[in-house]
Amino acid sequence: MILFWQNPLYQRELLDRLRSGKTLAAILAVAIISSGLVLLRWPSDNTVDVISQGAMLVFRPLAFALTLAVMMLVPAFPATSLVAERKKGTLTLLLNSPTTPWKIYLGKLLSNVTLSFILISVSMPALAACFAMGGVSVKDHLGPLAIVLVVMAVQYSAIGLWISVRSASSDASLRWTYAAVLALTVLSLGPIVLTGDIAGVYATVARWMTASSPMSALFQITGYEAVAASIGIRTGWFEFCILNAIVTAALAIVTVRKLDPVLLDRARPTGKVVGVTTKKSILRRIAYLVDPNSRKSGIPFWLNPIMVKEFRTRKFGRLHWLIRLVAICAIISLMLTVLAAVGATGWGVDKIAGPMVLMQVALMLLVGPSLGANLIASEVESGGWQILRSTPISPIRVMIGKVMSVVWTMLLVLLATIPGYAVMSFIQPAMSGQVGNVIISLLVAVAMVVSISACVSSFARATAAATASAYGTLLTIFAGTLLVWLARGRPFGPIFIERVLTFNPAAAALSEMNSPGFELYNLTPAAWWVGGGISLGCMLILSVRLWRMTKPD
């Protein structure tokens, strides 16, 4: 039996990553952010803080910043790892060598975990400073935080590898991995937050779902148990570790089972010969409303061909899928309406609105960057851009077609939750103005997500890089500004916090709904102008980029 560091795959993967400039940049970024946070919040009044408030004020944003860093940086590599090996043909070579699938898997997983460990380690001096200030203990704070971060790193690596072994392309794998991470972090809190304490099986399931989110662990470690309990979260870091260890072990088993040459031998989809009169075609029409195997009519003159192409080339962009998605959105919408009605009458509109806004923004961040980042980079990567350049279509038409294909999808996601707000306005008519402002803020969020992702996409040559960059940029804007908000009190005053939050339309929506912690800030309409300005700026940059990309070299 060889030790894991003697595994040649582990050594190769780790060395490759350590030699990369991107890894160095990531390590430096974590080091600078963590030490910067400590420096900014270091007490300057020469008094010993016996009730530990000072240390906790430093520790809290640091803990959330490290969690965000792990969320952003850890999944990227494993998400592309196995799919890239398969595309290059090196996976076949590995599987034909005496190396066992477990060795391949562990080599990849542990190299990523080691690197994550290095990333987390660079924040040690900052965490030690919190300890030195007094009031932050190893047993209750630093130890659990380190364990939670390592468990997150292992789990995200396992998720990345699991998705990677099943995906057809690096960008699709990256997209689904980030979506899974976001879903685990935010959407897993949804059921308990929206329904509160309901006894029975459902409550148990909802409770364990919250345990899968690192937020539940962080609330406990950073002393926000009361806040967590107020929205129904009663699990802590221990449950988080137990649940995720089980999930990670299960993912490892299914991933290793997939690492088999026979299972990798997939038939290429060849398409089916269409028939409009057969029994099967009639059944298909009943099942899908739009027969997926029928020959499609041409793109009509009144539709932008680029937009139609974007929809058609997406896995879920085909009409029969869109109909299903609309149906799912309608069901979710109805459920949310019921929940909003129950919640608003039971707990009050202000309490139900905050989680709803957060869920919506999480959903937008889950869907938007993956679609937006694909727009230009995938076209360049596939060689389609070269062909489009040799056609007479104008850059502005290309831009409109591509951007609108994402805008329509995002609006569909947004529309699913609108009836919930209508119910709130009905129950508390005085709030209809605020509800309107929330919807405007969410529309601004949509504009920002689409325009920033598309803009990032126009600068990347590979879709995977574009997707990772888009997620990184948007998470920085939407979650990073909330980190600054978490550090309110010291050193950041309310004016500074308000200015930072104007960059986040989700914060504007939360302040409109007087969600706890946001009541003090008056973010509208400034946040709309800022968000609109950023979106406009990004669209301008995108149009200039596209214009330049279509011009002769």
User: Tokens 């398969």 correspond to what residue?
Assistant: 86
φ and ψ of 326, to 5 deg:
-60, -40
Report if residue 299 touches other proteins, rule: CB under 8 A: yes
Distance CA 219, CA 214 (A): 9
Q: How many CA atoms lie within 13 A of 225 on its CB side?
A: 7
Span interacting with other proteins, options 31-39, 56-64, 313-321, 347-355, rule CB under 8 A: 313-321
Kindly tell me which residue out of 200, 295, 430, 495 binds other proteins, with binding defined by CB under 8 A.
295
Helix intervals (H) in 416-525: 418-427, 432-457, 463-475, 481-486, 494-501, 505-512
CA atoms of 399 and 485, how far apart (whole Å): 35
- Shortest Å distance, C-beta 551 to other proteins: 8
CA distance 145 to 142: 5
Closer residue to other proteins in complex, CB, 316/347: 316
298 forms part of the interface with other proteins (CB under 8 A): yes
Alpha carbons 139 and 151: distance in angstroms, whole number: 17
8, 125, 346, 384: residue in contact with other proteins (rule CB under 8 A):
384
Burial (CB count within 10 angstroms: exposed 0-12, middle 13-18, buried 19+), residue 307: buried
Interface positions, 464-493, toward other proteins (CB under 8 A): none
Region of 195-203, 263-271, 326-334, 349-357 interacting with other proteins (CB under 8 A): 263-271
Q: What does the alpha-carbon distance between residue 409 and residue 426 come to, in Å, rounded to a whole number?
A: 27
DSSP code at position 477: I
Given 270, 277, 286, 495, the residue binding other proteins (CB under 8 A)? 270
Phi first, then psi: what are they for 272, rounded to 5°?
A: -115, 150
Name which of 6 and 390 has its Cβ closer to other proteins.
Answer: 390
Nearer residue to other proteins within complex by CB, 83 or 523: 83
Pick between residue 386 and residue 522 the one whose CB is nearest to other proteins.
386
Question: Among the candidate windows 93-101, 335-343, 391-399, 503-511, which touches other proteins by CB under 8 A?
Answer: 391-399
User: Can residue 279 be called a binding residue for other proteins (CB under 8 A)?
Assistant: no
**Among 262-270, 466-474, 509-517, 527-535, the segment contacting other proteins (CB under 8 A):** 262-270
Q: Does 387 bind other proteins (CB under 8 A)?
A: yes
Stretch that binds other proteins, among 80-88, 158-166, 384-392, 513-521 (CB under 8 A): 384-392
Residue 383 sits in the site that holds other proteins (CB under 8 A)? yes
Residue 225 and residue 219 in contact, taking contact as beta carbons nearer than 8 Å: yes
Instruction: Give the residue, chosen from 305, 517, 525, 532, that forms a contact with other proteins under the rule CB under 8 A.
Output: 305
Enumerate residues 6+ apart whose C-beta is below 8 A from 269: none
Q: Which of residues 71-110 bind other proteins (CB under 8 A)?
A: none
Answer for the pair 113, 75: CB distance below 8 angstroms, yes or no: no
The only residue of 258, 314, 324, 490 in contact with other proteins, by rule CB under 8 A: 314
Q: Judged by CB under 8 A, does residue 276 bind other proteins?
A: no
Rounded Cα distance, 7 and 141, in Å? 34
Taking the C-alpha atoms of residue 490 and residue 39, their distance in angstroms, rounded to an integer, is 11
Kindly determine how many residues on this chain lie close enough to bind other proteins according to the rule CB under 8 A: 38
Task: Give CA–CA dist 103/292, Å, rounded.
Answer: 41
User: Which residues does 436 contact at the CB level (< 8 Å), separation at least 6?
Assistant: none
Q: Which stretch binds other proteins (CB under 8 A): 100-108, 199-207, 377-385, 461-469?
A: 377-385
Is residue 313 a contact residue for other proteins (CB under 8 A)? yes
Q: Which of 391, 396, 433, 493 lies at the binding interface for other proteins (CB under 8 A)?
A: 391
Q: Which of residues 20-59 bind other proteins (CB under 8 A)?
A: none
Q: Say whether residue 118 binds other proteins (CB under 8 A).
A: no
> Per CB under 8 A, which region of 70-78, 130-138, 270-278, 356-364 contacts other proteins?
270-278
The closest alpha carbon to 49, from 144, 136, 140, 141, belongs to 136
Token code pair at residue 112 = 């990523």
Measured distance CA(148)–CA(208) in Å, rounded: 16
For the bound state, the minimum distance from the C-beta of residue 275 to other proteins, rounded and expressed in Å, comes to 11
Of the candidate spans 310-318, 441-449, 478-486, 497-505, the one that interacts with other proteins by CB under 8 A turns out to be 310-318
Close Cβ partners of 354 (under 8 Å, ≥ 6 residues apart): 510, 513, 515, 516, 518
**Nearest to other proteins of 12, 296 (CB atom):** 296
- Which segment (20-28, 205-213, 276-284, 389-397) binds other proteins by CB under 8 A? 389-397
Applying the rule CB under 8 A, the residues between 143 and 172 that interact with other proteins are 168
What is the DSSP secondary structure assignment for residue 479, as one 8-state letter?
I
CB of 398 or CB of 423, closer to other proteins:
398
Nearer to other proteins, 275 or 491 (CB): 275
* 183 touches other proteins by CB under 8 A: no
CA distance linking residue 351 with residue 338, whole number of Å? 15
Token code pair at residue 535: 């979106």
Q: Which of residues 395-454 bind other proteins (CB under 8 A)?
A: none
Binding residue (CB under 8 A) for other proteins from 89, 98, 200, 392: 392
Neighbour-count burial of 432, counting CB atoms closer than 10 A to its CB (0-12 exposed, 13-18 middle, 19+ buried): middle
Least separation in angstroms between residue 291's CB and other proteins is 13
Q: Is 127 in the site for other proteins (CB under 8 A)?
A: no
C-beta of 389: minimal distance to other proteins in Å? 6
User: Nearest 5°: phi and psi at 492?
Assistant: -85, 125
Place of tokens 């149906």: 327
Whose structure tokens read 């103005």?
Answer: 433
Q: Which is nearer to other proteins, 89 or 298 (CB)?
A: 298
Which H or E run includes 138?
none
For the chain, report the end-to-end CA distance as a whole number of angstroms: 56
Residues that bind other proteins (CB under 8 A): 168, 268-274, 295-296, 298-301, 305-306, 308-309, 312-315, 317-318, 382-393, 552-553
